[in-house]
């Protein structure tokens, strides 16, 4: 039997743990599949995706910086992908690619089920307004957070995300330079890629933290070191990287493709135990 073909697209993408995760899911459930990483710059993404489809590709994950491009290329989209304005999962259908976004569901499942956090009533600071932030913002609002302040170094992108969410009383923007004036938050989510690019990228005001603050980085491995180091120094109550979210969003995508949901705790524990957490945000 010829294995079904899947891939993860990104730039860079060599770091991605997705091929390892989906191979483990396939073995767990006895499903034969081929899953590879394909590096594509934004200008090359449409062509690379078309070539993948022509070779029999049936589904794809999409990571930085291509999630908003994937949204534009999808012939149809789920409601959560429309709300996010970003796509991280593609399913091949007769009329073209169907786009979904499993990031938010993966994050909420990781925080509530694996880490035992109750998100209801929390004041949230979301750092970043790109594809990663777009993927998780709607799910956090649906999970019952009280309000969400979106801060991005490009204010226009933050405003665009807040407008797309359509809840002006709960989701609104502030300037990065004004972080010290925003008060404290029970949840701080880093959805930026700053940790990839510069040492000491996160020197944030300690006034953002209170006795209940959970600090969450959507990145994992080396890309999360800067933010997580700040969170520990600030004595945040919970300090969480993006590995659990990565595994949970992958399980959501796997279920879309194969109609059955894999168990996630086995692969999550394996990645932690064997130090296979490299660098990135899928």
Residues with a catalytic annotation lie at 67
**Spatial distance between the Cα atoms of 212 and 187, rounded to a whole number of angstroms:** 8
- What are the structure tokens assigned to 4, written together? 């079904």
Does residue 218 have a known ligand-binding role?
Answer: yes
d(CA 162, CA 150): 7
128 annotated as ligand-binding: yes
Q: Is 164 annotated as a binding residue?
A: no
Find out whether 249 is annotated in a ligand binding site.
yes
Q: Which helix (H) or strand (E) element contains residue 264?
A: none
The total of other beta-carbon atoms located within 10 Å of residue 11's CB is 17
Determine if residue 129 is labeled as part of a ligand binding site: yes
User: Binding site annotation covers 268?
Assistant: no
> What helix, strand, coil percent values describe the chain, rounded to 5?
45, 25, 30
Helix (H) or strand (E) holding 214: strand 209-217
Q: Any known ligand binding at 79? A: yes
Residue 23 Cα to chain centre, angstroms: 20
Q: Count the helices and strands in the chain (H runs, E runs).
A: 11, 14
Q: Which residue in the block uniquely carries the two structure tokens 């135990």?
A: 273
Residue 131 marked ligand-binding: yes
Is 239 strand, coil or helix?
strand
Residue matched to tokens 């997580």: 228
10 Å Cβ neighbour count for 68?
Answer: 17
Query: Interior CA angle at 76 toward 32 and 94, to 5°?
Result: 55
Helix, strand, or coil (residue 149): strand
Q: Which residues line the annotated binding site for NADP(+)?
A: 79, 128-132, 218, 242
Annotated binding site for shikimate: 16-18, 63, 88, 103, 220, 249
Residues within the annotated binding site? 16-18, 63, 79, 88, 103, 128-132, 218, 220, 242, 249
């Amino acid at each position: 039997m010829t294995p079904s073909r899947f891939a993860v697209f990104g730039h860079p993408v060599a770091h991605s743990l997705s091929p390892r995760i989906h191979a483990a899911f396939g073995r767990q459930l006895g499903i034969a599949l081929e899953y590879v990483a394909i590096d594509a710059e934004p200008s090359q993404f449409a062509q690379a995706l078309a070539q993948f489809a022509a070779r029999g590709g049936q589904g794809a994950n999409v990571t930085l910086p291509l999630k908003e491009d994937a949204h534009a290329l999808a012939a149809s989209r789920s409601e959560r992908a429309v709300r996010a304005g970003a796509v991280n999962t593609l399913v091949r259908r007769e009329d073209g690619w169907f786009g979904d976004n499993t990031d938010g569901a993966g994050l909420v499942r990781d925080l509530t089920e694996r880490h035992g956090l109750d998100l209801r009533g929390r004041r949230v600071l979301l750092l970043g307004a790109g594809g990663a932030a777009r993927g998780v913002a709607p799910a956090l609002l649906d999970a019952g957070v009280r309000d969400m302040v979106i801060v991005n170094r490009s204010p226009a992108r933050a405003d665009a995300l807040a407008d797309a969410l359509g809840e002006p009383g709960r989701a609104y923007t502030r300037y990065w330079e004004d972080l010290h004036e925003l008060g404290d938050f029970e949840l701080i989510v880093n959805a930026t890629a700053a940790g990839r690019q510069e040492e000491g990228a996160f020197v944030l005001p300690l006034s953002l933290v209170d006795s209940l603050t959970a600090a969450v980085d959507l990145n994992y491995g080396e890309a999360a070191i800067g933010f997580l180091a700040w969170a520990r120094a600030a004595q945040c109550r919970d300090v969480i990287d993006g590995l659990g979210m990565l595994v949970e969003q992958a399980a959501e995508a796997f279920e879309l493709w194969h109609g059955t949901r894999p168990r996630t705790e086995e692969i999550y524990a394996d990645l932690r135990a064997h130090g296979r957490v490299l660098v990135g945000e899928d």
